[in-house]
Amino acid sequence: MTESAAPSSFAPLSLYDTLSATKKPLALQEPGRCKLYVCGPTVYDMSHIGHARAAVVPDILVRLLRASGLEVVYVRNITDVEDKIIKRAADEGVSPEVITTRYTDAYHDDLDALHCLRPDIEPRVTDNIPQIVALIERLVANELAYPVDGDVYYRVARFEHYGALSKRSLDDMQAGARVEINERKESPLDFVLWKGAKPGEPQWPSPWGPGRPGWHIECSAMSLRHLGETFDLHAGGRDLIFPHHENEIAQSQGACGPGTFARHWLHNGFIDFAGEKMSKSLGNFFTIREVRNLYLPEALRYFLLGVHYRSGLNFDVEAPCPSCRHLLDPEQQQASHCPACAAPLELARLRAHVRFPGLEEADDRVAYIYDTLLRCQRALATTSEPDAPQQNIVASAVSGMLPGFLAALRDDLNTAAAIAALSEPLREVNRQLEFKKKPEIAGRRPTLARFLADMPAISQHLGLFADDPTTYLRERRDRKAARLRLDVAEVERLLRMREAARAKKDWKEADRLRAELGLLGATLQDSAEGSTWTL
């Protein structure tokens, strides 16, 4: 990492805070140390790309904090007790542990592929039952919670700041109440902390009888255990603001007192499908795994970072008719036959032929950057121009790249602007790479060298572009070939034939073979070193 990428003191970082509803500088409780809690997944199914975003956003934050020289304590929980897990286990006739283990492993595998750093601590609810029970006991002692027939509920009306995070008053909530009828509760707004056991469900002993924790108490208990009564940052998806995070505040401050718990709240926006939260027509959502089968994970990560984290991100899906390629709109996707060619439509086939234009654009862009890296490495390795190491002749676009990039990130994690800050330097480097025939151009070598020297810091912050370019580009091509159902061996065979024709300057035959390859979907690049192909 270069000097400029690793400031010795903590560079100012401003973040939007949901509680105060303002962008403000991150002020740490302890200098040099940042304690962060992120709400993790409930592990009952494969994670979708929304989960990916909720993991990538805090990952960018952690990377930035660490690169700024801070020690970060990063906690992200796994929720492994929950209704949906129990249901899934019952459906499959296996124990809940089978379900939670399977999907925890898959979650880790997906996030590793997306280059998300593992949290330092990843507590599970099932390992924290005594802590949860103890916390509930404190709330009962404070008269903020009350047991009823084996359940324990939180007495919302007793917590004066309830609604501060989600900006709504108790009256608002009462008014719009779509709350289930439960005459055990003193108020419909009260929420459950402990659920009395039902036959056949996981259960643990407690002062109120056997049972299991409610949905919100776990995060209060686990953050308290691992980060203490007060910590710096709490992150999660926007939808968690109410009621989950509102309830966490009520629980934690109810037990530990005013002014405790998270000092700063970070919430990421949602991923939308076709302008709505989810696409009903194509079966609601796409999993990370499905996307990984089609594209390299860096494409997805780049795509997720292309938009500011608080904005909604539209995940465009194009569904062509598998038979005639007519683009089906959402309504037509539900039809039994294609309106253009009358071929029968079925969901599974539709999903298999789906395209993601935004992801493809991201995929191309990532490849462009890797390609620039590769060309740059080669140019520096092969040219013998005299060294001219004066820093002042580095092209300004390139010398300004890293500072501009970091400034954008430090302004509320503006990854969109940070990525945009790479465009001009990239163009400048490629421009200089064009001067093959006059390598004596002033500043060329120092500029390329500087670019190559600064890119690792950018990779480190973004979790992107850290692979060997040749390897990445080859894997990408192979993945794309598989996606387009292209016969790689056949392409290679035709390519060799064309090489032979070109050697004989038989342009007619070479062009014929290129046309044939084009039909297969391959695009050729001829160079002095020979021909290669891409898609």
Partner RNA sequence: GGCCUGGUAGCCAAGUGGUAAGGCAGAGCUCUGCAAAAGCUCUAUACGCCGGUUCAAUUCCGGCCCAGGCCUCCA
73 or 366, CB closer to RNA? 366
> Which residues, 439 to 498, sit near RNA by CB under 7 A?
none
**256-315 positions binding RNA, by CB under 7 A:** 268-272, 275-278, 285, 306-308, 311-314
Residue labelled with tokens 């990538």: 56
Q: How many of the chain's residues bind RNA (CB under 7 A)?
A: 83
Contact 252, 231 (CB under 8 A): no
Options 97, 143, 318, 434; binder of RNA; rule CB under 7 A: 434
Looking at the Cβ atoms of 29 and 516, the one nearer to RNA is 516
Tell me whether residue 313 or residue 402 sits nearer to RNA (CB atom). 313
CB atoms inside a 10 Å sphere around CB 391: 9
Considering the complex, state which of residue 184 and residue 277 has its C-beta at the smaller distance from RNA. Answer: 277
184 near RNA, rule: CB under 7 A: no
Q: Does 534 bind RNA (CB under 7 A)?
A: yes
Nearer to RNA, 38 or 345 (CB): 38
Here's the x/- map for RNA, 12-31, by CB under 7 A: it reads as: ---------x----------
C-alpha of 494 from chain center: 40
Rounded CA gap, 342 and 318, in Å? 19
Cβ 89 vs Cβ 486: under 8 Å: no
Give the x/- contact pattern for RNA in 506-525, rule: CB under 7 A. Answer: -x--xx--x--------xxx
CB of 51: closest distance to RNA in angstroms? 5
Query: Interacting stretch for RNA, rule CB under 7 A, among 111-119, 147-155, 241-249, 478-486?
Result: 241-249
What contacts 24+ positions apart, CB below 8 Å, involve 99-107? 99/43, 99/44, 100/43, 100/44, 100/124, 103/41, 103/43, 103/44, 103/45, 103/46, 103/47, 104/43, 104/78, 104/80, 106/46, 106/47, 106/289, 107/41, 107/43, 107/47, 107/51, 107/78
89-97, 290-298, 431-439, 475-483 -> range binding RNA (CB under 7 A): 431-439
Nearer to RNA, 135 or 359 (CB): 359
Q: Which is nearer to RNA, 191 or 451 (CB)?
A: 191
Among 170, 414, 459, 486, binds RNA (CB under 7 A): 414
Q: Which of residues 100-159 bind RNA (CB under 7 A)?
A: none
- In the region spanning residues 314 to 373, those forming contacts with RNA, defined by CB under 7 A, are 314, 358, 361, 364-365, 368, 371
Q: What's the min distance (Å) between Cβ of 215 and RNA?
A: 5
> Rg (Cα) of the chain, in Å, rounded?
28
Nearer to RNA, 386 or 438 (CB): 438
Nearest distance, CB of residue 31 and RNA, angstroms: 28
In the chain, how long is the greatest CA-to-CA distance?
A: 91
**Amino acid letter at 386?**
P
Binding-site member from 187, 230, 334, 430 for RNA (CB under 7 A): 430
- At residue 76, the 3 state secondary structure works out as strand
Backbone angles phi, psi at 197, to 5 degrees: -65, 145
| CB-nearer residue toward RNA: 428 or 454 | 428
Produce one character per residue of 507-524: b if its CB has 16 or more CB atoms within 10 Å, e if not: eeebeebbeebeebebeb
Q: Which residues 200-229 are close enough to bind RNA by CB under 7 A? A: 215
Nearer to RNA, 11 or 241 (CB): 241
Q: How far is the CB of 342 from RNA (least distance, A)?
A: 29
Helix (H) or strand (E) holding 73, with range, is: strand 71-76
| In the complex, least distance from residue 457 CB atom to RNA, rounded to whole angstroms | 19
Q: Which of 202, 243, 425, 463 binds RNA (CB under 7 A)?
A: 243
Shortest Cβ 436–RNA spacing (Å) = 8
* Closest C-alpha to 322, from 437, 435, 485, 213: 485
- Please report which residue ranges of 19-128 form alpha helices under DSSP H: 49-67, 83-92, 96-113
Residue 253 makes contact with RNA by CB under 7 A: no
For residue 489, count CB atoms less than 10 angstroms from its CB and return exposed for 0-12, middle for 13-18, buried for 19 or more: exposed
Does the footprint of RNA cover residue 179 (CB under 7 A)? Answer: yes
Binding mask of the shown chain, residues 41 to 60, with x at each position contacting RNA by CB under 7 A:
xx-----x-xx-xx------
Nearest 5°: CA angle at 521, between 487 and 320? 100
The C-alpha atoms of residue 169 and residue 160 are separated, in whole angstroms, by 10
Residue 182 contacts RNA per CB under 7 A? no
163 and 173 Cβ atoms separated by less than 8 Å: yes
Q: What is the dihedral of CA 288, 294, 300, 303, to 10 degrees?
A: -130
CA 486 to chain centre: 30
According to the binding rule CB under 7 A, does residue 412 interact with RNA?
yes
Residue ranges in 157-176 that form contacts with RNA under rule CB under 7 A: 166-168, 172-173, 175-176
For residue 117, the minimal CB distance to RNA (Å) is 17
Residue 148 to residues 48, 134, 145, 159, 194, Cα–Cα distance (Å): 37, 17, 10, 19, 10
**Angle, CA of 266, 269 and 274, to the nearest 5°:** 175
Helix axes of 469-483 and 357-382: crossing angle, nearest 10 degrees: 150
Applying CB under 7 A, among 209, 242, 478, 497 the residue interacting with RNA is 242
Q: Which is nearer to RNA, 47 or 206 (CB)?
A: 47
CB of residue 322 vs RNA: minimum separation in angstroms?
A: 24
Q: Tell me the closest approach of the beta carbon of residue 346 to RNA, in angstroms.
A: 25
* Residue 136 or 501 with smaller CB distance to RNA: 501
| Residue choice 374, 416, 466, 486 for contact with RNA (CB under 7 A) | 416
